Amino acid sequence: MISKIRYGNPVPTGAVVNGTADENGKGQLRYFEKTEQGFRYRMEKKDAVYGLGEANRGINKRGYQYISYCTDDPNHTEEKLSLYGAHNFIVIDGACTFGVFIDNPGRVTFDIGYERTDELNIIPEYEDLDFYIIEGEGIKDIVRQFRILIGQSYIPPRWAFGYQQCRWSYMDADAVREVVDGYENCGIPLTAVYLDIDYMESYKDFTISDERFPDFGNFVKEMKAKNIHLVPIIDAGVKIEDGYDVYEEGTAKGYFVKDREGKDYVTAVWPGLTHFPDFLNTEARRWFGLKYQALTDKGIDGFWNDMNEPAIFYTERGIDEVREFLKAEAGTGDISTDQLMELKWKLNELANNDTDYKAMYHNMDGQTVNHDRVHNLYGYNMTKAAAEGLAELRPGERTLLFSRSSYIGMHRYGGIWMGDNQAWWSHILLNLKMLPSLNMCGFLYTGADIGGFGSNTTRELLLRWLALGVFTPLMRNHAALGTRLQECFRFEHTEDFKSVISCRYRLLPYLYSEYLKSVYENEMMFRPLAFDYREDEIAVNVEDQLMLGNEVMIAPVYTQNATGRYVYLPENMTMIIMHENGEEEKELEKGIHFVEMPLNRVVFFVKADAKIPVVGTDYGRSICNGTMEDIAVSRISWLGKQDKGYRMYMDTGHSDNKKDDVLITEF
């Protein structure tokens, strides 16, 4: 059962699309009590709190505070309160088990036992919101109801489940060719290469540098002949430059975000001075979405949207403040340590400053709305603009599309990656912990920057992260400018990388099938053990293993120099040790085991009565790039025992089909 209470005059977010909620208007607020600050729930000692999508720390969120406010911050250390996404859905599990969704696109604080260990306080900055309470037969049923409420998740083309390589930046076409050839020469499977901001002319959206990427259309064809898809980035900021058509059209039609006086708001991002398209305006959204044609006409069938929190490097207001400070201090003679520290803070505060966000205004189809009240809708609506435009430009065809910033509702239009992480061992574990909470909020096509975006990775770290990435829908290696080159073929003993990445293609029938099931049945592809084994006290406290589908459990290594790890089996399972050409199986009983995990193997666990479909590596590549007609059931083999059947979902892999078009085969 779902109930809704409305407070104030909420901004329509589009998060909820199936109106199944019982709107009780000014009825009783169940479980919570209203406070001056917001809403309070008294937690019992054993209550656990799950959710919040892309959020820091543990799977169980109890014991800290989190702020839903899309934030451009690549240093995901434990004290950070906000990351790139804002996903206001939680499930409380304990004496009472129920879900809560706060549909409010402004800043919302979730204090989950931080100020007081026995209190959950939800504190919205602006109390114009819809408060949903979801009750059901356990956590999985509550999540399923919520997923139905917010609508069906995005399905990418099947090729997007292949291994992908990215770097900021591959500076020209020859650099891309070097990457493709490097993988090919080592026999390591590769499906896509990404183009970061330097493929553009002066960082201008929907342009291509003729100097670095001449004859771009033929270059795209050259790559596709090798089954390589090129995926360019699109940023939120539009460069202010006379003669640039996107700038001139947006200015003439009033499609940019405004300041308090109604003038186009000026910020600075990669291109220098920029305007932000007003994605909350229907006309502006359609205008921007159709601009993707500049690249689809060249054969591009995948995009990633970035810098859409929106990220701001500085504004003229911020620069003026620094100038005034320097002018005032210059006459004092020597600059003291305190003055230097104050200058440092002022420079740090130039980027993503709250004052700048509060100075922006949107035209939401005739209604003027301050940006601060709808901040978390910006990246969502940029990706909605792209999805709607691409549906018109490529009718009947799926396009790979994902975003850095998001709000619940965007899951219907694209996926997300987990943002600009670091080459830290702790971020392998953070990657794992975000998977179930994002699935709870409808985000199924997701993954982290494998190997780490910032800092310098190591061979061991990359191999261990790949062994987790084998299972995540988005499997992308991505590194930042100034870090060591981390394409797999650049390390010694490339056969180890080939062995691990090849397992992705071998597992593709199972992974793709489970993805489609999660979409059409409103299930979670990844779940904490606590969701499946609620009566098992050990399983409830395990946060470094996940269930995948109804058959598999994964337990990655996330510590340096480890030869393996301890794994808890909540029931008897078959351990699979997989490599490029085969696998070993070993029966293990319920309990704690130390499991050796070689760097060149992928180790996972299958329930004792279950089986999963796999194929040979070469055939896996064919499935990734081909159509349903290319898939022969006779080529599928099975891992695990044969006692329990398997229901496999498969579709064309590229067409914008419905559930009725999915081929469901019972084995």
The torsion angle over the Cα atoms of residues 77, 78, 82 and 83, rounded to 10 degrees, is: 50
Of 376, 448, 350, 429, the residue nearest 71 (C-alpha): 376
Name the 3-class secondary structure at 55.
coil
Q: Which two tokens stand for residue 70?
A: 């899309």
Please state whether beta strands 361-364 and 367-370 pair in parallel, antiparallel, or not at all (unpaired).
antiparallel
Q: Is 501 exposed, middle or buried (0-12, 13-18, 19+ CB in 10 A)?
A: buried
Q: CA 178 to CA 183: how far, in whole Å?
A: 9
Half-sphere exposure of 292 (CA within 13 A, CB side): 34
Catalytic residue among 309, 496, 514, 544: 309
Catalytic residue among 54, 111, 205, 306: 306
Q: CA 9 to CA 359: how far, in whole Å?
A: 21
Of 280, 204, 259, 183, the residue nearest 489 (C-alpha): 183
| Residue 318: count of CB within 10 angstroms of its CB | 21
Residues 6+ apart with CB under 8 A from 104: 10, 88, 124, 126, 128, 129, 130
Q: CA 342 to CA 348: how far, in whole Å?
A: 10
Q: Which residues of 198-233 are buried (b: 16+ CB within 10 A; e: fewer)?
A: bbbbebbbbbbbeebbeebeebbebbeeebbbbbbb
Q: What is the DSSP string of 340-361?
A: HHHHHHHHHTTTT-HHHHHT-E
Alpha helices (H) in 441-575, listed in sequence order: 459-469, 494-506, 508-520, 529-532, 537-540
Residues 6+ apart with CB under 8 A from 68: 52, 82, 86, 87, 88, 107, 108, 109, 110, 376
The torsion angle over the Cα atoms of residues 631, 304, 191 and 168, rounded to 10 degrees, is: -170
Q: What is the DSSP string of 276-336?
A: -B-TTSHHHHHHHHHTTHHHHTTT--EEEEESTTT--SB-HHHHHHHHHHHHHHHTTSSPP
Q: Which residues of 361-379 are buried (b: 16+ CB within 10 A; e: fewer)?
A: bbbbeeeebbbbbbbbbbb
Q: 420 an active-site residue?
A: yes
Of 305, 473, 279, the residue nearest 365 (C-alpha): 279
Q: CA 273 to CA 247: how far, in whole Å?
A: 11
Catalytic residue among 420, 449, 487, 580: 420
Q: For 591, phi and psi rounded to 5 degrees?
A: 135, -170
Please state whether beta strands 85-86 and 406-407 pair in parallel, antiparallel, or not at all (unpaired).
parallel
Q: What is the 3-state secondary structure (H, E, C) of 566-603?
A: EEEECCCEEEEEEECCEEEEEEECCEEEEEECCCCCEE
Residue type, 178: E
Q: 309 an active-site residue?
A: yes
Residue positions annotated with a catalytic role? 306, 309, 420
